[in-house]
Amino acid sequence: MQISELAEFLENLEKTSSRIEMTKILAELFKKASREEIEDVVNLILGQLAPNYEGIVFNIAERMMLQAVTKAYGVGVDSVRKAYKQKGDMGDVAFVLAQSKKSKTKKLSVRDVYNRLKTIAEDEGEGSQDRKITEVAKLLSELDGLSAKYVARIPIGKLRLGFSDKTIIDALSWMEEGDKSKSSKLTHSYEVVPNIGKLAKLVKEKGIENVSDNVKPEIGVPVLPMLAQRVKSPEEMIKKMGKVCVEPKFDGLRVLIHYKKLKGGDLIRAFTRNLNNVYEMFPELDSIAKHISAKSVILDSEAVGLSPDEKRIADFQTTMKRRRKHDIAETAKNIPLRFQVFDIMFKDGINLMGEAYSKRREILEKTIKDSNLLVVDEVVETNDPNVINDEYRKKIAEGLEGIIVKKVDAKYIPGRTGYRWVKMKMEATSSAKLADTVDCIVMAYYVGRGKRASFGIGGFLVGIPNDEEIMTLTKIGTGLTDEQFRELHTRLKKLKTNKKPKEYGEVNRTLEPDVWVTPSLVVEIAADEITKSPIHSSGYALRFPRLVKFRDDKKPADATSLTEIKKIFKLQ
């Protein structure tokens, strides 16, 4: 497939707002793509070269792309800068300049473009910025206008066409069946091995049935984590789940640990909920082989920061300081931690996800050796609601978030489905406050006035996902410290966009913001209660909302969904 053909599909997708029409266009694209190129096609239409966990990033800022466009078309940097300010999109600038140039374009395939972009992304070291600019310029100069428009957007993360992996899964089903009837099978496969490009290639080669029946965890590829439901009371927990295991809930960073013993050096990975590999945060894991009885293993855990004397647990924000890229060793010394391990999905080549939790627990306890690095969560088995309440109060008294209640015979199922795991973070009898926090996506912000003018932000609008549409939930302008206002503005400046992203649904005119941002930042919000709302597109609003923390470990798809909001509304 020529890159010019792919660009025509992208142009159609950009002009389309209907989700079903997008799915049909993608299905047609996938039919046309060969099995050798479909993985590259899928990655490019998502504006990436590989899934997040592979860590292949361009490291090309907009100013570098501006220089590349200037170099590609032999025009003055001032005129390119002026055009960019007018259009607000580097792709549109490249399109106009490519249309007016006199040199001939080359017939480049999708694979040609993908491989050249990958080479550019992997270029590191001294002088790499200049080389990246030169190579991007050379590539753009060889493309027709439409192709240049989309290729220019990819390295700076501006391709966003309003769909994600979920629509691609639907399109793969549509390609084979003419409808979305096999989306659930593909979703199961994706949750175990979340590489959508690789999944598309397997579907092309083997068909959906053969792919979904043979999927299993792989060392080095993150499994989507299993998540806890919300249930109103311990009595209802026992009614829905029967016999359960009660474990502590820590305010840490969810980490899936992968380990495999190899001759040339062990493979060690640490993945967050948003599938990023954060192994560099945890130099302690270099010694993991001494703490486990296994040649290969996938563990589910919570990384919990400790005070320097290791006598008390640090809060989430302190633990997240480990994410700083510099002075990791010094940070590790100042913020020691341990991994509270609570599940095992894979051991020595055997997939354990289909086993009952009680059996996985037995295997886990035999796998982890006594150590201060990996600690298996304590557990109480019961079918008595009073025991659940007692355990909750004990954990709160110890300074923990609460408890997780797990069905004894539950399989490890990624996502938040069924009543297999349930979290309890507040007294079930309390009705004065919302009994849980809500994870929201920042959609836009409002310029500050008065004192807040110095912050650059006076309030912000957040939403929640409903399928692939993001709906408004609440506007927040109070409950932030000066430091939080400043940090929020710093983060959102990098996400500014000149028009409302396609993922956002209808926004009431009374909520129109000063600045739209791309859906990227997830924040945890506390509130007194959820109320019905005629203004917000979700149909709900938060009363007295306030920022708790930034959730850098979560991606927009991990935010609290509309379905969950409805459930919490009923529970309160």
Which of 249, 260, 407, 502 is flagged as catalytic? 249
Structure tokens at 176: 């084979």
475 is catalytic: no
How does 470-490 read in b/e, with b if 16+ C-beta sit within 10 Å? Answer: bbbbbbbbeebeeebbeebbe
Structure tokens at 298: 């996938």
Q: Are 184 and 197 in contact (CB under 8 A)?
A: no
**Residues 238, 233: Cα–Cα separation, whole Å:** 9
Helices 385-397, 234-241: crossing angle, 10 deg rounding: 130
Considering only the C-alpha atoms of the chain, give the largest distance between any 2 of them, rounded to a whole number of Å.
79
**Residues 347, 295: Cα–Cα separation, whole Å:** 8
Structure tokens at 374: 């990996």
Sequence-distant (≥ 6) Cβ neighbours of residue 507 within 8 angstroms = 443, 461, 472, 500, 537
Structure tokens at 461: 């609008």
**Strand order, beta sheet including 380-382:** 229-230, 421-424, 402-407, 244-249, 380-382
Structure tokens at 363: 């295997």
Q: Are strands 529-532 and 244-249 parallel, antiparallel or unpaired?
A: unpaired
**Residues 399, 560: Cα–Cα separation, whole Å:** 25
- Which one, of 572, 306, 312, 539, lies nearest residue 437 by Cα? 572
Q: Which residues are catalytic?
A: 249
